[in-house]
Amino acid sequence: MATSTFQKWLLGCGIGCAVVVVLVVGLVTSTIVYIRGKFQPLQAASESRKEIVAAYGAPDAFVPPSSGAITPERMEVFLSVRDSLKDTQARLDAALASFDLERLNQRQPSFGAVLRTLNDLSNLIAPVGEYVNQRNRVLMDKHTGLGEYAYIYSIAYYSWLGHRPDEGPPILERIRQGDRVRFSGGGSNLSPESVRWQYRRVILRLLGNQLDSIKDSAQAKWRAMLKEEIDRVDRSPDRVAWQDNVPTPIEECLKPYRSRLEATYHRSANYFEFMTIEELNHYQWNGLEIRSEDERGRQTDEKGGVTYEVAAGVTAPVPIDQPSPAYTEQARRARIEGVVSIQATVRKDGSVGNLRVIRSLGYGLDESAMKTIATKWKFKPGTLNGVPVDVRARIDVTFRFY
């Protein structure tokens, strides 16, 4: 009799536990599906970018007017695009204002706090995707490519009005400083350095196209000025084109639109303009990781070994031998330059393994960088409390065309 009662109790307990497990799994699954849905605007933005590139060419293929001046017709088109973005800009501001940053500061967040944080983050990312998608769609309607938009945007807002490519919402800096949340697989794409790099890459290509288009000998003086400015931007990663003195023809074409340009500049959205001129693959859903401070960046790799990330108590590896990778003939013919970013594990013996490209240049440069790093680079290894350990690192390799 006692055994029968015990069996019933055990059965009831098992059913109850199963129900709890099903409810928890269902809650987690529903939450993940819900949050993934919030990332759909980024996918839509990626698709609209492909459409606009197919119709009007890659951004860096645009050739600005040889004189640098922008016609009134094109200024009106640009400003009409900016005017159409006010609603999505307002939604982005609302999402930023409602973000609960304090929740990220919890040392041991509860399960519910983690889910709410993921929801908060997805609520930030969705308006960015909506904004970029809206921008691309309106540009298509106005028969304008991303390259022309990027040229006018940078000349008007950065060169003339004095804003910066990495000027954005203060909350992003506070999130990064907290080091509580990171986008896995995305490297440091939200960093100011990455935003400036994207701007610099695009503007150098556009100004280079402009320089190549000047054939009239009467424009020799202007051509020399343009070449000097390209060299200045090329030498200084933080420089904005024409930041010291906007050429008179460009300034004159912008003057009639000053008040409208100032009214249509939007600081929060600005941060994502040049970041999303390029491919959006790095900004799509890769999952989010909430870390506790006592983990010290500890992760388990596919073979069961332990790899650390730079965090409290974990120092970064330091390169001690880093020969330059070969510049491929294919890239040389196409005059390709820029940065290949590689995620890798720097082992405790100073060697490098588990390489993966997270920012590509193509033209054989990715392969050249990976081969050289894997076979020729040596590091002083990172340490955990003074003891060498395997550390995951991002390695940037710069290729410059001479």
pLDDT tens digits along 308-324: 565 556 787 888 888 88
What is the DSSP secondary structure assignment for residue 250, as one 8-state letter? H
Among 256, 283, 310, give the residue marking a domain's end.
Answer: 283
Looking at residues 19-37, what average pLDDT do you find? 48
Share of residues in the chain with pLDDT > 70 (%): 70
pLDDT value of residue 301: 43
pTM: 0.63
Bridge partners (DSSP) listed for residue 388 = 383
Same domain, 193 and 331: no
Range of 223-237, 238-252, 388-402 with top mean pLDDT: 238-252
- pLDDT given for residue 316 in this prediction: 79
Q: Given 248, 283, 318, which residue is the final one in a domain? A: 283
Kindly state whether residues 269 and 339 are assigned to the same domain.
no
Task: Output 112 or 162, whichever has higher pLDDT.
Answer: 162
Kindly report, residue by residue over 167-180, the tens digit of the pLDDT. 988 776 666 555 44
Confidence of residue 77 (pLDDT cuts 50, 70, 90): very high
DSSP category for residue 244: S
Average pLDDT over residues 66-92: 94
Q: Is 70 exposed, middle or buried (0-12, 13-18, 19+ CB in 10 A)?
A: buried
Q: Which pLDDT belongs to residue 108?
A: 55
We report the CATH number of the domain holding residue 311 as 3.30.2420.10
Tokens for 162, please give them: 């004095």
Does 162 fall in a domain? yes
Q: Is the pLDDT of residue 8 over 60?
A: no
Band of pLDDT at residue 283, cut at 50, 70 and 90: very low
High-pLDDT (> 90) share of the chain, %:
28
Split into its structural domains, the chain has a count of 2
In a domain, 291, yes or no: no
> Would 136 be classed as within a structural domain?
yes
Average pLDDT, the chain: 77
12 pLDDT band, cuts 50/70/90, is low
What H or E segment, with its residue span, contains residue 249?
A: helix 248-254
**319 strand-pairing partners:** 379
177, two tokens: 């400083």
Which of 58-62, 162-166, 231-235, 335-339 shows the lowest mean pLDDT across its residues? 335-339
Least confident window among 65-69, 101-105, 207-211: 101-105
Length of the chain: 402
The edge-to-edge listing of strands for the beta sheet with 338-346 is 352-359, 338-346, 391-399
Write out the two tokens for 98: 């409602």
Clarify whether residues 270 and 308 are in a common domain. no
Residues 121 and 151 reside in one and the same domain: yes
Segment 209-234 shows an average pLDDT of 89
Task: Tell me which residue range forms the domain holding 340.
Answer: 296-399
Tell me the per-residue pLDDT of 93-142, one tens digit each, with 9 for 90 and over.
Answer: 988 887 766 655 555 556 565 556 566 666 677 888 899 999 999 999 99
Residue 186: pLDDT over 50 = no
Which residue from 317, 311, 310, 329 is spatially nearest to 368, judged by alpha carbons?
329
Residue appearing with tokens 């645009």: 62
